[in-house]
Amino acid sequence: MNRAVYDVAPVELRSWERVRRYAVPRRVIERATERRLAGDWRGACAAADVAVDFTLDGIARGHGRAFAEALEDDLLNLAPDLLRWHFPRILHGRSTMATGRTVDLTAGGPVLRVVGPRIPDGPQGLRLVVARAHAAPPDDGLHEDWSELRFLWDARRAGDALAFYGDGTRMPFFHPDGTPLTPAELPSSAPSPTDAVRFAEWAAAPGGLAAALDAAGIKVRDVSLEQVARRFPHVPLLAAAIRRRGRAMLLDDWRPVLAETGDDGTPSIVRSDDYLGDKTPPPLPGPLWTLPPDLMLLRAGLLTPDELHPLVRSACFPARGPADGPVGPPDPPRPVPVRVRCGSAWHEMRPADGGFAMPHTADEQRRERAMRAFGGAVTGCFEIHERWRTGRGRLPKGLRAQRADLFLRAQHGDADGVLDLLDHGVDPHVRDARRRTLLHLLPCLDHARLLPRLLDLGADLEARDHVGRTPLAVAVAELGSTDLVAALLAAGARIDPVDDEEGSLADLIDRWHRTDLLDLRARVAAEHPDVIAGYWSERD
């Protein structure tokens, strides 16, 4: 690991590492690419979990045939998996997409717009809509203009990233084949600001940011440079973006950090005097002024070039030869045995047949189960197994990593990865630190593939998470589809549970404005009226 790079923003880099490992599985990239190359743009979007809220015939009727034809040309070249790869993220320890975010991909009259998820832990799908250029984003969310950044989503233009961030031959910090520059090859003194690549490299050196901002003519007032450095700014791009776009929000905070141009044309970075509320200017999109996170992950040693999205790999490193294997995020690692302390000995617990193989006889295991049934404490291997299945208590590091891998794949909709891990013996009854089971994660997954498999393996439809919600309650509260809700009901899920906040299914439907589930609410009211608290029954 390159500590000099990693220590600048360890939390953000670890967040991006998880994004790159889990958010866009390689098999999703492969399926979306196959559909795109076949001319099936709708199939490509479906493969990448991007919903399309319009038809081309409807667009032609509403906006004219010429616009519809231009839109179709863009859609035929849209790489929805690449769009998902670059979509803004929450970070700060999370890997999910930024909520309430909308992004315009094109400019002009009507625009092609992407709408992000509504909640941080819910389904990670995107929506494509056609909207008026200046129409307000839904729910007062942040809105970004990517019309200058077609290489983030248009397969025809993916290679433009090399000229945008680099000099057309190489990216900052790397040779054209992806080999990192050695310390001796990096600039040791200030290069000309016109040499954008060398200038960006110099600015990233320890202590170089202040001098680079000054050399680029950017004034800084009441802003911590460490806060700016954590975003890995590409200083020449930052200066150009401020001059071109004027006032914009650079960093979102209670007192936002703003980028603006003075009356004399001097770009500056300033902290707002107070909370701006509705007067907050639009954000300056990160890709316009920061170094790509992929480059920073490569520099830090947290990613290899062959783990990049194929279009990103070929754009960043045009001289890199063919990979030895598939290009893209790696497949799930196979579950491996873990050593745990059991009494005075070290035992090996090995995932097998949907549970753990342990070096204990059948009599020993029956005795421990009986002890637990009568309220006694279990220890050693049996204690670890109980923690695995209850989500209570600390697991050994190896098992924590295996559990995190499984639940991150589920959170990002990687049904293939989850099924692969189940096929290789991962216990389907595992719970995460919030005591959620895989059934609780079904709003994020293809439930048609996962639900029957989990039920066959004995998954509990009435399992309660850390706030007392069943999988059905989570599906209601966290925007699970109506098809998922119907499938859980058909499987026998109860409709009368109440969570720890006194919320019944009817209350959750009211609270989260699930007008698509009013039939279920009516059923709860008819069959179990006493469970309804009614706190949110008067919807605003």
At residue 234, the pLDDT reads: 96
Joined tokens for residue 168: 């057309």
Confidence of residue 140 (pLDDT cuts 50, 70, 90): low
* Mean pLDDT on 354-370: 74
Q: Which residue spans of the chain are classified as CATH 1.25.40.20?
A: 442-540
pLDDT in tens, 22-58: 999 999 999 999 999 999 999 999 999 999 999 999 9
pLDDT in tens, 204-239: 998 899 999 999 999 998 898 998 999 999 999 999
Give pTM, 2 decimals.
Answer: 0.93
pLDDT in tens, 53-62: 999 999 999 9
At residue 68, the pLDDT reads: 97
- Is the pLDDT reported for residue 439 higher than 90? yes
Question: Could you tell me if 473 and 496 are in contact, meaning their C-beta atoms sit under 8 angstroms apart?
Answer: no
Confidence of residue 180 (pLDDT cuts 50, 70, 90): very high
- Is the pLDDT reported for residue 436 higher than 90? yes
Greater model confidence, 362 or 305: 305
Question: Could you tell me if 507 and 476 are in contact, meaning their C-beta atoms sit under 8 angstroms apart?
Answer: no
- Is the pLDDT reported for residue 275 higher than 70? no
Give me the DSSP letters along 377-437. PP-HHHHHHHHHHH--SPPPHHHHHHHHHHHHHHHTT-HHHHHHHHHTT--TT---TT---
Give me the DSSP letters along 176-218. TTSPBPPGGGS-SS---TT-HHHHHHHHTSTT-HHHHHHHTT-
At residue 341, the pLDDT reads: 85
Mean pLDDT of all residues in the chain?
Answer: 92
Euclidean distance between CA atoms 105 and 352, whole angstroms: 47
- Is the pLDDT reported for residue 523 higher than 90? yes
The architecture that CATH gives domain 442-540 is Alpha Horseshoe (1.25)
Residue type, 392: R
Range picked from 226-230, 333-337, 505-509 for highest mean pLDDT: 505-509
Of 284, 286, 302, the closest CA to residue 294 belongs to 302
* Mean pLDDT on 419-440: 96
Buried b / exposed e along 4-40 (16+ C-beta atoms within 10 A): ebbebbeebbbbbbbbbbbbbbbbbbbbbbebbeeee
- Is the pLDDT reported for residue 374 higher than 60? yes
Confidence of residue 526 (pLDDT cuts 50, 70, 90): very high
At residue 540, the pLDDT reads: 44
At residue 173, the pLDDT reads: 97
Euclidean distance between CA atoms 81 and 45, whole angstroms: 8
- Is the pLDDT reported for residue 119 higher than 90? yes
